[in-house]
Structure 1
């Protein structure tokens, strides 16, 4: 059944009233000119239009009344449910407030983490600039030197760049996978900002984070 609005009901009933008025005028004209073929035809046409309009108005009103009864039933059920769920609403308010507080804390922590990761990335680049100024380029065998991508080797240890955004993004994805593996976010993959070295640095940091969490 197609939903019927009050406006639609009023329109079809108005059309039925207009058709009935036209029928009365046609009846008077036919009564005054019974032998007129034109008056007869107009009368017959008016009967058809009035019958159709009246039938349509009856059907639309019946549909509207049925739907209105269902709306009234649902409204009453909704009022009853609202009264009976008053306690649940209080719990919902508390749980949402707690969730918002947790998200605010997480956002603040993400801001601190992005700042720390960004500072580490800056220090790696600064070390690369220092080594380059000293004429120390890493050619694949030297224990200390700067790479072209601004990552560095110092004493045989490599320090890649790191993209803080992709680190946090991957952490979020892993949390979503753990709790909601079918969520669309569980399939998200971000290319690190900064190329291969930033991807390597991201993976190093993530491995250390996972180790800290397990510990």
Structure 2
């Protein structure tokens, strides 16, 4: 059954009333003795049009009444369900509140992590700048010096830049993959940002984080 609006019902009934008026006028004209072929044709056409319009209006109203009854039944069922599910609603509200609180804590922790990762990246760059001032530029056979991208090697230890945002992004994708492996976020491929050593620094931090979590 196609849904019928109140406007459609009103239009169908208006058209039926107009067709009935036209039928009555044509009938009066025909009965008044003006039984010309045109009057006859008008009367016959008006009869057919009125019959069609009235039948259509009745069908539209029947559909509208049936749909109204169904709507009222659904509304009553919905009101009953709302009353009966008061306990579920309370649990839903508490669950959403807990979820929002957990997400708020996660966002705050993510903000702190981004700040700390950014500070680490800044310190690496500062160390590279200090080596640059000393005229120490890294070469493959040198244990201390600044690299072209600003990362540092000190005492044989490489200190790469860190793409902090993708550290968190990759960890999030890993968490999602463990719960919802088919979710698009679980399949995101995070392109490195900041050059090769920023990706190396990201991966180094990720390895350390995973090791820390595995303890």
Name the TM-score, length of structure 2 as normaliser: 0.96
Shift of 1:186: 1.0
- Give, in angstroms, the shift of residue 94 of structure 1: 0.8
Distance 2:162 2:155 in 1: 20
Unaligned runs of 5+ in 2: none
Q: Residue in 2 aligned with 1:38?
A: 38
Q: Deviations over 1:71-126 (max 9, x none)?
A: 12211111111011001111111111111111111111111101000000001111
Structure 2 counterpart SS, 1:202? helix
- Aligned pair count reads 215
Structure-2 residue corresponding to 1:160:
160
Match of 1:199 in 2: 199
| Matches for 1:7-46 after TM superposition, within 5 Å | 7-46=7-46
Distance in 1 of aligned mates of 2:160 and 2:131: 14
Name the CA distance, whole Å, in 1 between partners of 2:111 and 2:205: 17
1:70 match: 70
**What residue number does 2:98 align with?**
98
Query: Alpha-carbon deviation of 1:199?
Result: 1.1
Q: What whole-Å deviation, never above 9, does each CA across 1:173-195 have from its counterpart, x for those lacking one?
A: 11111111111211122223212
RMSD, aligned α-carbons: 1.2
1:132-171 → structure 2 map (5 Å cutoff): 132-171=132-171
Q: Note if contact 1:3-1:67 (Cα within 8 Å) is conserved in structure 2.
A: yes
Superposition misfits of 4+ residues, deviation over 4 angstroms = none
**Segment of structure 1 superposing worse, 68-77 or 115-124:** 68-77
- SS of the residue corresponding to residue 150 of structure 2 reads coil
Query: What is the match of residue 58 of structure 2?
Result: 58
Are the counterparts in 2 of residues 33 and 39 from structure 1 also a CA contact under 8 Å? no
Secondary structure in structure 2 of the residue aligned to 1:189: coil
Partner SS, residue 42 of structure 2: helix
- 1:57 deviates by 1.1
Q: Distance in 1 between matches of 2:138 and 2:166?
A: 26
**Alpha-carbon distance between aligned partners in 1 of 2:39 and 2:7, rounded to the nearest angstrom:** 34
